[in-house]
Amino acid sequence: DQQVKQNSPSLSVQEGRISILNCDYTNSMFDYFLWYKKYPAEGPTFLISISSIKDKNEDGRFTVFLNKSAKHLSLHIVPSQPGDSAVYFCAASANFGNEKLTFGTGTRLTIIP
């Protein structure tokens, strides 16, 4: 039972344009959501998070939007840079990220120079 889903396994975006990565969840107990970036043969690196009391969180080029009614979140990267090419995982938790994280299957983002 995949409680966190990333339906796009891959995405290609031109450098300088906006990258939008999507994530859906089914468990209504999730109240904290995180995005991680992962390079091959490395552990995930935390990017940005959002609590269910907010619908938007911004950090530099990264913005996460949360639509609780739709159980959907998205990560916007603008402008996209070649170094952004990686696999992006969304994750969800029922307690502020210090508890068990449930990960999505990941989206491979390729930025085309």
Partner 1 sequence: GAVVSQHPSRVICKSGTSVKIECRSLDFQATTMFWYRQFPKKSLMLMATSNEGSKATYEQGVEKDKFLINHASLTLSTLTVTSAHPEDSSFYICSVGGGGARTDTQYFGPGTRLTVL
Cα 41 to Cα 27: distance, rounded to the nearest angstrom: 30
Residue nearer to partner 1 on the CB measure, 2 or 67 = 2
Cα 77 to Cα 57: distance, rounded to the nearest angstrom: 12
Which x/- pattern, by CB under 8 A, does the window 15-54 give for partner 1?
-----------------x-x-x----xxxxxx--x-----
Task: Return the SS3 of 83.
Answer: helix
Size of interface with partner 1, in residues (CB under 8 A): 25
Residue nearer to partner 1 on the CB measure, 12 or 14 = 12
Rounded to an integer, what is the distance from CA 50 to the centroid of its chain?
10
Cα 102 to Cα 79: distance, rounded to the nearest angstrom: 28
Per-residue tokens: 96:
């502020």
Which x/- pattern, by CB under 8 A, does the window 72-111 give for partner 1?
-----------------x------xxxxxxxxxxx-----
Site residues, partner 1 (CB under 8 A): 2, 4, 9, 32, 34, 36, 41-46, 49, 89, 96-106
